């Protein structure tokens, strides 16, 4: 399949991130998403999987630019909001205006706030209230759900 260890290390949530009746600007069938995404990206973005911590090359991405949704390419986070949370996942203290949405996630028996792309509904990760100033938030994202676009590209 070509995704080997990364896919084997994924943990799956109970269901896709979005309700069947929820509408987004970018809507595709599962078959269309499977053609556009790698199996590991599909598992994260469309089935709420979680990649293994410290497995994403984006943890070490520090150039100026933008982190975008791997599913629809919508810009999500500016590089100057990225910080090292020491959790193993790319983390940010704020998204771009209107770029993400949130839902309540109780899949692990605790209430968490799930973060999804506002344009396609793809699961990105979760947001926690233990981040740095100025927001105090930690948007803990799956690297498989993101692509990096260097400034000027």
Known catalytic membership, residue 140:
yes
* φ, ψ of residue 83 in degrees (nearest 5): -150, 160
pTM (predicted TM-score)? 0.86
Q: Which of 69, 117, 120, 140 is catalytic?
A: 140
Answer whether residue 7 shows pLDDT above 60.
Answer: no
pLDDT of residue 107: 84
Which run of H or E residues covers position 39? helix 39-47
- 65-69 sheet: strands from edge to edge: 75-78, 65-69, 146-150
For 4-150, CATH number?
Answer: 2.170.150.20
Q: Give the model confidence (pLDDT) of 86-128 as tens digits.
A: 999 999 999 999 999 999 988 888 899 999 999 999 999 999 9
Q: Which residue is it, tokens 């994924």?
A: 10
Domain locations in the chain? 4-150
pLDDT of residue 18: 45
Binning pLDDT at 50, 70 and 90, where does residue 6 land? very low
């Amino acid at each position: 399949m070509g995704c080997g260890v990364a896919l084997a290390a994924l943990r799956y949530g109970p269901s896709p991130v979005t309700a069947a009746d929820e509408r987004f600007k970018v809507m595709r069938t599962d078959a269309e998403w499977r053609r556009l995404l790698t199996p590991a990206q599909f598992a994260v973005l469309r089935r709420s999987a979680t990649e293994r911590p410290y497995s994403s090359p984006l943890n070490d991405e520090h150039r100026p630019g933008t982190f975008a949704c791997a599913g629809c390419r919508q810009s999500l986070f500016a590089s100057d909001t990225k910080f090292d949370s020491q959790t193993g996942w790319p983390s940010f203290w704020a998204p771009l205006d209107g770029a993400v949405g949130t839902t309540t996630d109780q899949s692990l028996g605790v209430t968490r706030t799930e973060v999804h792309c506002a344009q396609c509904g793809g699961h990105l990760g979760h947001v926690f209230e233990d981040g740095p100033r100025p927001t105090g938030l930690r948007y803990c994202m799956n690297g498989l759900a993101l692509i990096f676009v260097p400034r000027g590209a």
